[in-house]
Amino acid sequence: MKSSVCVTGGAGYVGSQTVWALRDRGVPVVVYDNLSTGHREHLPPDVPVVVGDVRDEAALQNCFAKHKVRAVVHCAAVALVGESMRAPSMYWSINVGGTAALTGAAMACGVKAIVFSSSAAVYGEALQIPINERHPKEPINPYGRSKHVAEQVLEDARAAGGPAWIAFRYFNAAGGDSKGRTGEDHEPETHLIPNILKVAQSMKQGGVVSPVKLFGGDYPTEDGTCERDYIHTEDLAEAHIRGVEYLLAGGQSGAFNLGTGQGRSLLAMVRAARTVTGVDIPYQITARRPGDPAQLVADADLAWQELGWRAKNSSLRHILDTAWRWMQRGDGA
Ligand SMILES: NC(=O)c1ccc[n+]([C@@H]2O[C@H](COP(=O)([O-])OP(=O)(O)OC[C@H]3O[C@@H](n4cnc5c(N)ncnc54)[C@H](O)[C@@H]3O)[C@@H](O)[C@H]2O)c1
C-alpha cells in the first residue's frame, strides 16, 4: 500500500476542496473528521473517512498506522469568531488540544509533515496593510488566540524531533469547486458571500427577503465599507499540496500568508454578486460591528518565494460564479 495524506477536517469547506485536489492528482487520501460541521456527501465516494475526534490521540494513531500516513493537512477546528467569544474553552480544547493530540500521534507514528490551517486572525488589528508574516501577533478573540497557540504547539513538537510543519494563515476563504463537487455549507452561515447569494436565491424563488447587512459605511476605505482579501479554496488546496511536497522534500518549517494581496470592499462584493446572479440584491449599511478592522489584506510574497505559490483562481468573477453554481445545485442550475 502506498503512503497517504490524512486530511483532518477533510469533510469541511476548505478540507473537502483539498481532498478533491489531492485525489485529482492521484495522491492516496484519508479523511479524519467528526462530521460536526463537515459533510461526507461533499467528498469523493471512494475516499476513506475515519469518523473521530481530533483530540483522540489513540484513534489518530490507529488511522495513521492503518493508512500509512506520511503527511497531514490539519483543517479540523471550530472556526467561528463570535462563538469563540461565547464558548472559549471549546476553542482551546479543539483547536489547541486537538493540535497537541495530533502532534503526539504524528510523532508516535513517524508522520513527516503537518500542514496546518491557521488564520489571519492571529494578527489581530492590522498595524500596516498589506500584512506580512512578521506583523505582530496580537489576536483579539479566543479563535485567533487558539490558532496562534496551535502554531506554537507545532513548533515545539518539531523542536522535539516531530514533523516538519507549515502554518498557512488564510485570509477569507471563498468560492466553490469549479466542477461543482464541493463548496461552502455552514449552519449557521457567517460568511459574507454565501449570505449575499442566499438573498439572491430567495429572490429568484420569489421568497420574502431581508437586505444583506453591511456593517459600517464610514471606514477609511474607497467606498466606506470594510475591505477583505478573498482567496479561492482551489488556490488554498493548491497551496496545501505544495506545502506537503515542500516539507517532504526537506523544506523549512514556518508560517505563510495565503491571500491575493488585493482588498475587496463589501459593496464591491454585492455589486459583483448582482452581476453574476442577475438579481438586484438589496443591502443595508448598518453600524460598525465591534472588532471589525477596516482592511485585512495579505502580503503573500513569502509563499511565492518559498513555495512558488500565488493565487491564480481568485478573481471576483470566478469566486462568485463558482459559489453561485454551488448554491444552486439541486435547483437544476
Ligand atoms: N473559512 C475561512 O474563511 C477560514 C479562514 C481562515 C482559517 N480557516 C481555518 O480553516 C480550517 C477549515 O475551515 P472551514 O471553513 O473549512 O471550516 P469547516 O467548519 O467547514 O470545517 C471544519 C471541519 O473540521 C471538522 N471538525 C470540527 N471539530 C472537530 C473535532 N473536534 N474533531 C474532528 N473533526 C472536527 C468539522 O466536522 C469540519 O468538517 C479551520 O481550521 C479554520 O479555522 C478558515
Q: What does the pLDDT profile of the chain (333 residues) look like in tens digits?
A: 689 999 999 999 999 999 999 999 999 999 999 999 999 999 999 999 999 999 999 999 999 999 999 999 999 999 999 899 999 999 999 999 999 999 999 999 999 999 999 999 999 989 999 999 999 999 999 999 999 999 999 999 999 999 999 999 999 999 999 999 999 998 988 899 999 999 999 999 988 889 999 999 999 999 999 999 999 999 999 999 999 999 999 999 999 999 999 999 999 999 999 999 999 999 999 999 877 888 999 999 999 999 999 999 999 999 999 999 999 997 644
Q: What is the pLDDT of residue 291?
A: 72
Q: What is the pLDDT of residue 331?
A: 67
Cell 471549546: give the residue: 90
20, 34, 55: residue to mutate for ligand 1 pocket, most atoms within 8 A of CB: 34
Q: What is the pLDDT of residue 289?
A: 83
pTM score:
0.97
- DSSP state string for 106-121: HHHHT--EEEEEEEGG
> Where exactly are the structural domains of the chain?
4-174+230-258, 192-228+261-296+313-326
How many whole angstroms from its chain centre is CA 13?
Answer: 7
Cα 220 to averaged position of ligand 1 atoms, centre (Å): 32
**Which CATH number does 4-174+230-258 carry?**
3.40.50.720
Q: Which of 13, 32, 143, 246 is catalytic?
A: 143
Q: How far apart are CA 32 and CA 75, in angstroms?
A: 10
Asked if 73 contacts 5 with a C-beta cutoff of 8 angstroms, the reply is yes
Cα 218 to averaged position of ligand 1 atoms, centre (Å): 32
For ligand 1, is residue 98 a contact (CB within 6 Å)? yes
281: amino acid identity, one letter: I
Q: Across-strand partners of 165?
A: 114
Class of the CATH-defined domain 192-228+261-296+313-326:
alpha beta
Whether 170 is catalytic is no
